[in-house]
Structure 1
Amino acid sequence: MWDDLKNWQARRHAELAGPDSWLGLAGLFWLEPGLNSVGSADGSVVQLPGGPAHLGDLSWQDGRVMWLPLAGEERELQTDIVGQPTVVEFQNWAFFPVDRENRIAIRLRDRNWAASQPFTGLDYFDFDPAWQIEAQWQALSPPISMEVPNVSGDLKVVEVSHQAVFEVAGQTVTLLPMAVSDKEVFFVFRDRTSGKESYGAGRFLKANPAVNGKIRLNFNCAYNPPCAFTPFATCPLPPPENWLPFAVPAGERKWVKPG
């Protein structure tokens, strides 16, 4: 298990140190219906840090996002609603559309971000096998609808049909999943370390799908959400149901930006 954890930590480091890291985000720009200018000119909807005053326009209408460059062919951009978004490259910059409850934003990324401030790594709580918990995976009948806020203040309604139920120090608690697929179950939670030793807005946790009514929660792999690293993310916040009444000294600690 220790080797698995070290491999997971190494993958986390590679993800955050790479050119597509959350640390490389340089902007988040909300589009309005119709034409949205892209360039370095003041007043551009998508403001580039450099380059031409007007690189092109993004057209958002009828649920479609079209890229209309001043030089080159126009093309439709896919958002991240069903997978990887379409990326537009310009010099060391890249931008792409994201869909947030039928609102469209453009994320801008600097792929050369690490040249000025390379990623120095993450801090972790010591590995503790006690935080590898086998929880009951209980069906909710009827399922519940839960409003999940994000850091931008938007609400997303999540349909929840199961809950993880487990015991810590004689106290029975539950966690409600934010998303369930045939590959993984995704949770967002807070605990008594949040805002002190770990990130204040909570942490993420992924688990393999339940087997025979049980799900394994390995809090040693609890990790910081993207909004711990950039103001240009739109992370879900843990609902009150997932505020654990005890400390979980496992997984990633709070990340502190160098300098």
Structure 2
Amino acid sequence: MKAISLFFIGLFFVTSCSQKKQPIQGETEFQRNLNSEFKDASKSPLKKKDRKDFRGLEFFKVDSAYVVQATLKTTPDEQPFKMKTTTDRLPEYVKYGEITFNLENETFTLNVFRDLDLMKEEGFEDYLFLPFLDDTNGDETYGGGRYLDLRIPEGDVMIVDFNKAYNPYCAYNEKYSCPIVPRDNYVGVNIKAGVKAFEVNRE
């Protein structure tokens, strides 16, 4: 009888734990991966008090209108420079080129960069950094702008998916040092795609 009682107690405990463990939120793999990272104490940029109540980042609805085809023009003669950040840190970047695309019947050209330290790491040899500003900043999105991760294409055409735009870590925690988006990388429309401004989700 005692063994049966212990069995049901154990079953109740396992069931309760599984019910408390909520699935990772997200409409796409990108969103689920980002939410998973933010829930992981070893990777999350969130402050401990914010991570405790974290349920998931808020995203705009995925919209194919913000997946654009861009033309890349490389600028091989650029010199490395120290990019300004939200702290005294000055990481070295180099402008790799310019991408030109159409969005909402307007043409925009943005600079893309390479992090000179990151490009030496395995898996990041072809990584491009695209920081950008748009008209949602300070309202629906983080005031300091957002980032996109890109890869060097084989030719001069690449796909830019603004649904994968994410916030700098300093949008969540001031202890981080984040590159400041250059004013030249301003897109003069509302890019209602990607991550929204951060608010702690509470039950």
TM-score by length of 1: 0.58
Of 52, 71, 74, 1:117 maps to: 52
Give 2:46's aligned residue. Answer: 23
Note if 1:8 corresponds to 2:8. Answer: no
* Residues 193/144 of structure 1: CA separation in 2 closer, same or farther (3 Å cut): farther
What is aligned with 1:178? 113
Q: How does 1:74-113 map to 2 (within 5 A)?
A: 113=48
Specify which structure has the higher proportion of helix: 2
Equivalent in the alignment of 2:22: none
Q: Distance in 2 between matches of 1:226 and 1:218?
A: 20
* Correspondence for 2:150: 207
SS of equivalent to 2:37: helix
Taking the aligned partners of 1:118 and 1:211, their CA distance within structure 2 comes to 43
Mapping of residues 1-259 of structure 1, within 5 Å: 6-20=28-42, 21-24=44-47, 113=48, 117-140=52-75, 142-143=77-78, 148-179=83-114, 181=119, 182-257=125-200
**Contact 2:78/2:94 (CA < 8 Å) preserved in 1?**
yes
- Taking structure 1 as reference, are residues 5 and 258 closer, same or farther at Cα in structure 2, changes over 3 Å only? closer
Structure 2, gaps ≥5 residues long: 1-25, 120-124
Question: What percentage of aligned pairs have identical amino acids?
Answer: 24
Question: Of Structure 1 and Structure 2, which has the larger fraction of its residues in strand?
Answer: 1
Preserved contact between residue 96 and residue 113 of structure 2 (Cα < 8 Å) = no
1:143 is aligned with what amino acid?
E
Bigger relative contact order, structure 1 or 2, given CA contacts below 8 A and separation 6+? 2
Distance in 2 between residues matched to 1:134 and 1:257, nearest whole Å: 34
Q: Which amino acid aligns with 1:8?
A: F
Which AA in structure 1 matches 2:46? L
Q: CA RMSD in A?
A: 2.5
SS at 1:224's partner residue?
coil
Contact 1:208/1:216, CA 8 A, preserved across alignment: no
Report the AA paired with residue 149 of structure 1.
Answer: K
CA deviations over 1:24-60 (Å, ceiling 9, x no partner): 4xxxxxxxxxxxxxxxxxxxxxxxxxxxxxxxxxxxx
Q: Distance in 2 between matches of 1:235 and 1:178?
A: 14
Listed as ranges, the gaps of 5+ residues in structure 1 are 25-112
- 3-state secondary structure, aligned to 1:178: strand
Where 2:77 maps in the other structure, the secondary structure is strand
Give 1:175 deviation, angstroms. Answer: 1.6
Q: Which moved more, 1:189-198 or 1:202-211?
A: 202-211
Does the 8 Å contact 1:191/1:244 carry over to 2?
A: yes
AA at the equivalent of 1:7: E
* TM-score of the pair, normalised by structure 2: 0.73
C-alpha separation between the residues in 2 aligned to 1:220 and 1:123?
A: 12
